Chains A and B, each alone.
Chain A
Amino acid sequence: EAQVTQNPRYLITVTGKKLTVTCSQNMNHEYMSWYRQDPGLGLRQIYYSMNVEVTDKGDVPEGYKVSRKEKRNFPLILESPSPNQTSLYFCASSLVGRSSYNSPLHFGNGTRLTVT
């Protein structure tokens, strides 16, 4: 089944303890992206990747890192989480990025992160 898989589904951690949220897609998509969703703010893009070893900042990149060493994986890293990073996080992928203009995004089921 074609899907985007995020892990974990729920995560509670403490301020400053490094964490990684994994994302994997099995559709051979070139483009992958991370979003956070907060009440009243909608979805905001954190980082995106047009292809392997190509990553760039979205609208709210501060406090986050990403890597794209393989096409299928795009982990989100919080080196020193803070309470304002408590949010619902989504990974998404599409066949290609901006260049095709017409590739819909496929979303994972989300990771609910709480930082205390």
Chain B
Amino acid sequence: SQQGEEDPQALSIQEGENATMNCSYKTSINNLQWYRQNSGRGLVHLILIRSNEREKHSGRLRVTLDTSKKSSSLLITASRAADTASYFCAILYSGGGADGLTFGKGTHLIIQP
């Protein structure tokens, strides 16, 4: 299985600061998605970026994709306590193989009030 790898594994910042987390992968992709998981709950889709896109925005979220470096970053601006959660990148790889997204192990984000 070709999991994406998030970096860092854990991140703790002060409320109001920006949080950046990264995802690296190994082979060519169709799209890359970011999900949020509050403790023990189901994942919630945040944003999807296609392989031919370089940047997308959604509210306080900004996602970039660099296919030459096989990496993506998720930036959360002006963080809030409610942003405390785990964030996962999920990759839809090109080509054959099992269907579905391949999830990374996640970045655990803690926003200190």
Contacts and interface: CB of A to CB of B under 8 A. Distances in A.
B98 A42 contact: no
Given A42-B3, A42-B88, A42-B106, A105 B98 contact: no
Contacts of B33: 104-105
A17 B50 CA distance: 44
B48 A48 contact: no
A44 B45 contact: no
Contacts of B41: 109-110
Interface string B75-104: 000000000000010101000001111111
A56 B99 contact: yes
Given A41-B105, A43-B88, A98 B99 contact: yes
Interface in A19-46: 33, 35, 40-45
Contacts of A4: 42
| Chain A contact residues: helix, strand, loop or mixed | strand
B92 A109 contact: no
A97 interface: yes
Interface residues of A, number: 30
A57 B98 contact: yes
A51 to B, nearest CB: 12
A58 B97 CA distance: 10
A92 B88 CA distance: 15
Nearest to A108: B42
Contacts of A88: 40
A101 B30 CA distance: 7
A14 to B, nearest CB: 23
A43 B86 CA distance: 12
Given A88-B40, A104-B33, 8 more contacts: A41-B105, A43-B43, A44-B103, A45-B101, A45-B102, A48-B98, A101-B50, A101-B92
* 5 tightest Cβ-Cβ pairs between the two chains A and B: A107-B42, A42-B105, A104-B45, A43-B103, A107-B43
